[in-house]
Every structure is written in structure tokens, then in C-alpha cells.
Amino acid sequence: MAYRRSENVQVVIGKESSFGQGATTPDGYQFPFAQLQLGRIQDTGQLGIIRGNPYESKPVLGMYRVSGSLRAATSLETIPRLYRLIGGAITTTGAAAPYTHTIKGSTSTPSIWVERWHSDVSKGDRFFGVVLTGLRIAVGGRDAAPVILEASLLGSGHPETGGENQGTRYDTTPDTSMMTGPFYTLADATLTIGGSAPAADITSIEIGISLAHQPVDVIDGKLVSKALAPQWYEVTGRLEGLWDDADNLRALHNTTSNITLKLGSGTTFAQIIVPSAFITVRDVGTAEGSGPIKQQLEFRGYYDSTEQSSWKVVVTNNTTSYSTW
């Protein structure tokens, strides 16, 4: 018996023609990932029948759900493609390369199909009616590890065009251009707060965007949701830095600033921007053992009237357009 191994997994993602319906001609992209947790489960419940004894009756099966997460390496191509799935259409400007691509929050986000293909056994699982409910980017650590984007996934459980353990690929020729990188590391990151480099030495930053979705379950004889309705955006983050003699980090408490994380330099780069971030102290500094004392700040992004969003991503690269994505 052959067993499936992690190093032989491939993840392909594509946009759906309509919710839960995949695409007539699948056009998927293989994503470079470090970790994947994804599966279809089925809710269970109890009838609550009083039986004349203290024991429950047999459980009943309920709605199908898909949930999971994907940790992807970041590059000039993975950033716009993933943030597009939690925001609006990508707006492109520029008459010649490099082009500028902008993504913001939106009241309408796309649904996707996801295929997890196991090349060692030539079998795969397909998931339809899936949406992104969160993206978190984290920079900083003890080494120059790749910058990681963690995506949270939620699906309706639609089994359209096959489901688990399929022997053929949904998209037989996915686009693999994102697999070669180059991928961002700590050395590629710079940070500004209020338009300037922070006075304090920042050691790590996290920026998270979440967009909760409510399953729309209707009486239609099916055990899959008809839709996943988006709620509202929550933008949260954390800064960690060294506690200096000027107390520069704590001086940011109870202030509102633009926080911009930039990856890359020159004419090609990506920026994750929180235009209006309310900053507060989370940890004033814990002294333990030896070494520099660190402080932690947390921030929350809110609606910015100029940007008309609580977050924005700007990517400058040589890609002409993302109109099909």
C-alpha cells in the first residue's frame, strides 16, 4: 500500500465561474506553500429524543463544510493573487513596465476552487465554493526565513465535478510560474509608521485581515450551503521592538498612524498598507533572564475616508494585468 507524503503535495487554486460551480475551462495556479490543512467535514447533531433512559440517540448528519489554512511563501506574484481573493478587483495603472496594481477591501469577493493533488499516488481532493476568510503576513524572527502569508479558508462543501480521491486532475495544465520565486525574506522588508522609519528598532510585525463569512443554508434538499455571505473586515496587527532609553515604542500608545510594510526595492516591490491604524501598548516590557527587553504594541485598522478602505495592497512589477484573476 502506498502512503501519501507531504513533500509530494501540490496545491492549485482557481476562480469559479459562479459559486460552487468551478469553471468551464479550469485556469488554476499552483501555489508555493509550506503547510496545508484542508478538508471537508460534515456536521453532526442530536435529535434530543427522550428515551426513558439517560442515553443519547444515534447522531444525525448535517451540513458539509470545508475549512483549513494555507501557509504560502510571498513573492511579487503570490501577494496580489492571494490578496485579490479577500478584496476587490485589481486596479492596474501605467503605460509600460513597471505597472502598479492596487487592491482594497470590497463588498464583493470571489469564490474559488482548490485542488490538493498527491503526485506520489496520482490522487487528489477537489473543493468548490471556497472563500478566503483571512490573510496574515508575518515578518521577523531569528533568521532570514521566508516571509509567510497564512490564508484561512472556508468552503460550502460543494462536490461539483468530483470530490475526494479523484484519479484525474481538475486542471491538467496549471500555471506554475509562481513556484520559482524569488521569495521574500527578512532582508527584503522595510517598515514605516506615519510615513517615516520608526524611531524604535522593530524586530517583528504581523498584519492580519479577516473577512468572516456566514453560511447561507436554505431548504433545497442539499447538505451544502447555497452561499457564503461576507460580513465585515477586521484589520489587526502586532509590533515588537527593543525597549530603548527614549521610550520610543511606548510613545506610540494611543496614536493613529499609517503603517506600511514594504517588501522589495527598486522598481519592483509590494506594500501592505494600513492607512489608519490605532496603536496601543500590549506589553510594556517583560524582564526575564538576560538580554534586551522587548515591548509589544498592537494596532487595529479602521475605515480610512481617503482610501475608502481599512487596508490596501500595492504591487509594482512587470506583470501587465491581472484582469483574468
The mean pLDDT value of the chain amounts to 91
Which residue has cell 479577500?
86
Tell me: pLDDT of 143 over 60.
no
Q: Is residue 249 within 8 Å of 297, Cβ to Cβ?
A: yes
For residue 286, the number of C-alpha atoms closer than 13 Å in the C-beta half-sphere is 6
pTM more than 0.85:
yes
pLDDT digits (tens, 9 = 90+) for 296-318: 999 999 999 999 999 999 999 99
Q: What percent of the chain has pLDDT over 90?
A: 73
Over residues 20-29, the mean pLDDT reads 83
pLDDT of residue 48: 84
Residue 284: its pLDDT value, please?
79
pLDDT of residue 115: 93
- Kindly provide the b/e burial profile for residues 287-318, where b requires at least 16 CB atoms within 10 angstroms of the residue's own CB: eeeeeeebbbbbbbbeebeebebbbbbbbbbe
What is the per-residue pLDDT for 160? 54
pLDDT score, position 215: 92
**How confident is residue 164, by pLDDT bands cut at 50, 70 and 90?**
confident
- Tens-digit pLDDT profile for residues 69-127: 999 989 999 999 999 999 989 999 999 999 999 999 999 899 999 999 999 999 999 99
Q: Which of 139-148, 174-183, 200-209, 273-282 has the lowest mean pLDDT?
A: 139-148
pLDDT at site 142: 60
Q: pLDDT, tens digit, for every residue of 27-46?
A: 899 999 989 999 888 889 88
On the question of pLDDT at 26 being above 80, the answer is: no
For the chain, the C-alpha Rg in angstroms (whole number) is: 22
108 closest CA partner among 262, 9, 230: 230
